[in-house]
Structure 1
Amino acid sequence: MTKKTASVHWEGSGKTAVGNISTETGALKDYPYGFASRFEDDRRGSNPEELLGAAHAACFTMAFSFACEKAGLKTTDVDTKASVSLSKQGEGFVIDRIALAMEATVAGISDAQFQEIAAAAKRDCPLSKALASVPEITLQATLRVDTTP
């Protein structure tokens, strides 16, 4: 079993408060976030939905690559984008949709097999399982043509 940690320091109250996010690896160290970077257009900080999307995209991408390898196929490159939707619900908010869009180059694979492996990776990656309460998680998987001679 592995355990990874992250921490947040938050100062203030409500919309004027600011926080800093840090991760065990140091990938984020005192990285700012707050109301403006979450609900407005302040690009100087991050937000939980962006971090969740990055984590989900990373997890899915690894799961897809490992599944291809298990099937005897080699991924040349995989690019995944996650779009996380935060919607108002009653007095609060809810993550109601995550859209994954993946493009990959995999030699010797049919589109049908590619779609099957991608769907299984989406279903089976640990972050997808953890996010099972999100009503809609979609995947658009595009197989790139391998132009390597």
Structure 2
Amino acid sequence: MNKTQERALNWLIQEGHKKQDITFKQSSPCFFIKDKKYDVKRLYGNQIIFYNNQYKQLKKFPNTTILVFRDNESSPYQKINFSEIKDLPSRYKDIEINWVDISTQVRTLRISDKTKERLQEHGKMGEDFDNLINRLLDTLEKHERKK
């Protein structure tokens, strides 16, 4: 169990659930309590990440509650019913949702807040950073070929 899942377990116990009634699994959803199911997500900046296999597992349990935790906070920042996001939206309220296809190679790129703001100025509504950066690079390459 990772730290975010530990915080979720502690929160569920604080909410009145008995530890012996909570079943933990290393899959999605990760907590089962009688007829309720919970999955846990860590908030990275303003983004949560779902991988393809997690999505497939959660589709079998559409009434799962997603508990979104910020680092070092003991209660969820947001509670999301999976049925509200099963159609793969890119946002839920103020949270960006990154749906990652496992077959796609994904890498992390660290940028400063200033760079992020500059990139966002060039972004189109709903465009993720991967598409934005590739579009900007395509524009640069096209411009270079004209020289």
TM-score clears 0.5: no
Higher strand share: 1
> TM-score scaled to structure 1, two decimals?
0.29
> TM-score scaled to structure 2, two decimals?
0.30
